[in-house]
Amino acid sequence: MINFTKMHGLGNDFVVIDAINQVISLSAGQIRFMSDRHFGIGFDQLLLVEKATLNEADFKYRIFNADGSEVAQCGNGARCFARFVRDKHLSDKDEICVSTDSGVLVLRFADDNMITVNMGIPKHKPTEIPLLATEESKFYSADIATERRQIDNLSSHVGQRAFGAVSMGNPHAVLQVHDIKTAQVANIGAQLESHAIFPERANIGFMQVIDPHHIKLRVYERGTGETLACGSGACAAVVIGIEQHLLAHDVLVELPGGNLKINWAGRGEPVFMTGPATSVYDGGIAL
């Protein structure tokens, strides 16, 4: 029996497992079973809380997508990680450091029950994202088939779509759209997520700029599909929006599941994300 906690950050839902006080060894197939919303528990990602392997860290943080693949970063998950270790009395610190495959994250508790995550310094070079391009640019492009409706007929058109790209410890592409409600998130997101231009696939954001301090965002996550919120995706959208001279340095990001506050001072500086994390229930599952 594996004990777990179901949690969410603005509707981006997780199963969080204490891998310190119980022995955990999960195959990709077992993770896929657990993620199934009909036969398993159901989640966007599974998070493991492990003993620290670095002297400067309090814990190790591992993230698995619903398809069983392991990834290096998840911002909403990081806030849930912090809430979990506090609720389960694994740490009583107001600031904890967790190591990930993309570096060390600093998680801070605020008085208003919000959690701020230092998401680290964004990486812009194509080789760091990674992205197949010869040189860094504020705009890249790829051939994407888009749907066009003409009266009662639906046709497909292949054309170049421009996007910005950055790594927040995981690869992100962000497209600017006029209306978030009509954005072809499932269609374009699926194509660009697995496009040859991204050798490790990517998370795809669709950003509508309301004003320099406010955007609306939908994200098609790598290995999961569209989610109600994506913390690293919100950070990536703000970074790219600032780089493209569309946004200010403090931005409210409105996601389908709720709002995040993102702050970024510019090149060479870390991105700070502030938002809630909620525990839903505790449970156990036999595999």
Which CATH architecture best describes the domain 140-269?
Roll (3.10)
Among 19, 80, 20, which Cα is nearest to 45's?
80
21 marked among binding-site residues: no
The predicted-structure confidence for 255-280, as pLDDT tens digits, reads as follows 999 999 999 999 999 999 999 999 99
The predicted-structure confidence for 178-200, as pLDDT tens digits, reads as follows 999 999 999 999 999 999 999 99
Structure tokens at 105: 């994250």
Q: Dihedrals φ, ψ of 165, to 5°? A: -145, 145
Q: Is the pTM of this model over 0.85?
A: yes
Among 135, 85, 128, which Cα is nearest to 109's?
85
Amino acid 212: pLDDT? 98
Query: Mean per-residue pLDDT for 101-124?
Result: 91
The predicted-structure confidence for 121-132, as pLDDT tens digits, reads as follows 999 999 999 999
CA distance 162 to 164: 7
Catalytic residues: 74, 230
State the pLDDT confidence band at 154, using cuts at 50, 70 and 90.
very low
99-108, 124-133, 149-158, 249-258: least confidently modelled range:
149-158
259 marked among binding-site residues: no
Amino acid 114: pLDDT? 94
56 marked among binding-site residues: no
Among 243, 185, 245, 244, which Cα is nearest to 217's?
185
Q: What is the DSSP letter of 54?
A: S
Q: Is the pLDDT of residue 142 over 80?
A: yes
32 marked among binding-site residues: no
Homologous superfamily (CATH) for 2-119+276-285: Diaminopimelate Epimerase; Chain A, domain 1 (3.10.310.10)
The residues, any chain, with a CB within 8 Å of residue 170's CB and separated by 6 or more, are 71, 72, 73, 74, 102, 203, 222, 232
CA distance 129 to 168: 8
**Burial bucket for residue 133 (CB in 10 Å: 0-12, 13-18, 19+):** middle
The predicted-structure confidence for 14-56, as pLDDT tens digits, reads as follows 999 999 999 999 999 999 999 999 999 999 999 999 999 999 9
Q: HSE-up of 233 (CA within 13 Å, CB side)?
A: 32
The predicted-structure confidence for 215-236, as pLDDT tens digits, reads as follows 999 999 998 899 999 999 999 9
Among 188, 242, 187, 183, which Cα is nearest to 207's?
183
Q: Assess contact for 248 and 211: CB atoms under 8 A.
A: no
CA distance 170 to 116: 19
Q: Is the pLDDT of residue 157 over 70?
A: no
CA distance 88 to 187: 40
Instruction: Work out whether strand 214-221 and strand 250-255 pair parallel, antiparallel, or are unpaired.
Output: parallel
Among 43, 9, 8, which Cα is nearest to 26's?
43
62 marked among binding-site residues: no
Domain spans in the chain, listed from the N-terminal domain onward: 2-119+276-285, 140-269
75 marked among binding-site residues: yes
Instruction: Name the one residue in this structure whose structure tokens are 């497992």.
Output: 17
